[in-house]
């Protein structure tokens, strides 16, 4: 079936013209290593990644509805730990069963499913050869009282290798007091993953109450998240997962760290596509693909998910990783939402800004 740009226009509503016709005049698209069917040969092949890593990346890029496009649609379900199983699965209890998580990723046409050791391990013999697995090895659990926000290792790289995972995922809470330990842990884990032939995906999230000032939360600021991305590719993350930028000026508002006026005067603007373009630039100009997260589930999930996908694609990003918006609905509706996201990346009429 031909993908129609009109479908996206309808979903975006009043925002369609601004998002689909915007031209980026900050960082030119010609400077970005853009996604494409030849991305591995054109970009990754020149790196120090082994043949086995290249093969597993190819497995990822050549699965699901986006196969061969150079774009990614991932289903991440680690919320049973990150947000508690009750808060995550009570709206749709079928997902207490790990098999339904994997089924949603398969039926939804995703490139891969990302989840915990327990979830993937419970069904690995049945599904590891049917859809690429990405094992998330660390988590922030909320049962400790009082709550402590820290990513701790729950699994090893070797366990992912043994279950047949093609990639390893991890989170670093950049800006937190624990971030330096997390950087060391995950850098070592990513080194081991590459030795075993697996690619690496890093959740580059900011976490510090000090990033909030005058009722503005800068944990999704382009300048701060951009630097988090840059730290992520420094430890050889192959793919960066990041919240889509919604504002800018975190460094200047909080008066810490180092930045340049050019970041705000020349390299970005207030437009959401330009803010995300700056995030892509910090991923070594797209040498590591930027996938944006879908965010929490709400009342206008379809519109928000498609909007995020349009911004990501037009900024030069590599795709979306959407969990709660999909699995907190009946499976049929979740599949439709994942397909709507994928349609954005399949639509050649939606170009790079």
Read off the tokens for 310: 């349009």
Read off the tokens for 29: 């698209």
**How far apart (Å, rounded) are the C-alpha atoms in residues 271 and 176?**
28
Sign, CA torsion 237/242/248/251:
negative
**How far apart (Å, rounded) are the C-alpha atoms in residues 3 and 261?**
41
DSSP state of 328: T
- Alpha helices, DSSP H, located in 178-323: 179-195, 222-234, 250-254, 261-265, 272-281, 301-315
Q: Is 136 a catalytic residue?
A: no
Closest CA to 275 of 305, 252, 250, 244: 244
Catalytic site residue from 136, 241, 307, 329: 241
Instruction: Supply φ then ψ for residue 318, to 5 degrees.
Output: -110, -5
Residue carrying the six token digits 């991440």: 76
Residues carrying an active site annotation? 241
């Amino acid at each position: 079936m031909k993908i129609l740009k009109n479908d996206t226009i309808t979903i975006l509503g009043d925002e369609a013209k601004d998002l689909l016709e915007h031209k980026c005049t900050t960082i030119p698209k010609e400077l970005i290593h853009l996604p494409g069917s030849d991305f591995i040969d054109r970009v990754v092949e020149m790196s120090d990644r082994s043949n086995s890593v290249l093969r597993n990346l190819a497995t990822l890029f050549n699965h699901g509805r986006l196969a061969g496009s150079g774009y990614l649609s991932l289903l991440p379900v680690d919320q049973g730990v990150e947000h508690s199983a009750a808060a995550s699965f009570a709206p749709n209890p079928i997902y207490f069963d790990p098999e339904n998580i994997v089924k949603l990723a398969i039926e939804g046409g995703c490139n891969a499913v990302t989840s915990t050791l327990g979830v993937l391990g419970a069904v690995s013999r049945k599904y590891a050869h049917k859809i690429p697995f990405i094992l998330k090895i660390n988590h922030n659990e909320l049962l400790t009282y009082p709550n402590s926000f820290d990513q701790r290792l729950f699994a090893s790289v070797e366990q992912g290798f043994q279950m047949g995972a093609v990639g390893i995922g991890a989170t670093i809470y950049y800006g937190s007091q624990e971030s330096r330990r997390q950087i060391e842990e995950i850098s070592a884990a990513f080194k081991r993953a590459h030795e075993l032939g697996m690619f690496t995906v890093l959740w580059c999230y900011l976490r510090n109450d000090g990033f909030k000032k005058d009722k503005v939360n800068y944990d999704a600021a382009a300048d701060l998240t951009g630097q988090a991305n840059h730290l992520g590719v420094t430890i050889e993350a192959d793919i960066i997962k990041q919240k889509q930028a919604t504002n800018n000026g975190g460094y200047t508002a909080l008066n810490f760290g180092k930045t340049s006026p050019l970041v705000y005067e020349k390299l970005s603007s207030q437009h959401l596509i330009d803010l995300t373009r700056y995030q892509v630039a910090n991923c070594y100009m797209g040498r590591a693909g930027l996938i944006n997260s879908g965010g929490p589930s709400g009342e206008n999930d379809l519109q928000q998910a498609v909007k995020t996908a349009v911004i990501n694609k037009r900024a030069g990003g590599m795709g979306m990783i959407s969990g709660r918006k999909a699995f907190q609905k009946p499976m049929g509706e979740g599949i439709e939402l994942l397909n709507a996201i994928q349609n954005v990346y399949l639509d050649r009429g939606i170009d790079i800004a």
